[in-house]
Structure 1
């Protein structure tokens, strides 16, 4: 059985993330969505909320589970027995940011990172942009899975 880890902060989970997870699942027997605590980012949604919305959004996908990454991704990958890490790319800037992490993870675990090119129709969707739009009262329902927009609005202090 092949297992892949699809890691990220998922703050919040977007339709682009769901697209990458779905396509990763078509390549691997099991996909573990690893929700990371990123100390360099100030999260809008706490880890429990991110796990809850991700589990709800991905519930229809057999062979996909959501777990929290508490430490190094390399350790998490080893612990779940993954043979690959899957990362989505929207463009060259994503590749430039992801390449050093892929190389470090390979150095630490001998596990390869598989890059999945995102759906061009979703390339404009980034968690940071979703949060910015929501902060100013803009519509985000068509950018995130059901339930995520509600969680984002609640985290920002109520519906806008």
Structure 2
């Protein structure tokens, strides 16, 4: 397991269609482990293989809070529903944040590191993270979906308001 360098935009690997994984071996397991270590070190909640220079259909999402890490090999979106606009960021775009519209619900089929097929349904922030990472595997970057760029100072104000709202008697700044 190793922390790998995160590929930054405009690297060509970020904008290409990734190849399907056909070998489920130690190399794939090492890739998934390296991706996880890299994501954690960068304080991310998701990462896709092209973000560490590998053009294969592999991505992970970790929502934390005691939930299992979602490893997606060859993921396919089978259904979506609803819509919401939220602020997103991306490890390959340091300091860029923007409002992006995405489905509220997603159902996917994917494979585990051993090749076993599974189906997963997710909503809200988890669905958003999954769709963001699958976009990477298709060469679609979040900057192409931004409705409005958000200044980092706006994020700080929102975080402060949420913290005060949760712990300071319910009064928002």
TM-score normalised by the chain length of structure 2? 0.25
Q: Flag the structure with larger Rg.
A: 2
Q: Which has the higher contact order (CA 8 A, sep 6+)?
A: 1
* Higher fraction of strand: 2
Higher helix share: 1
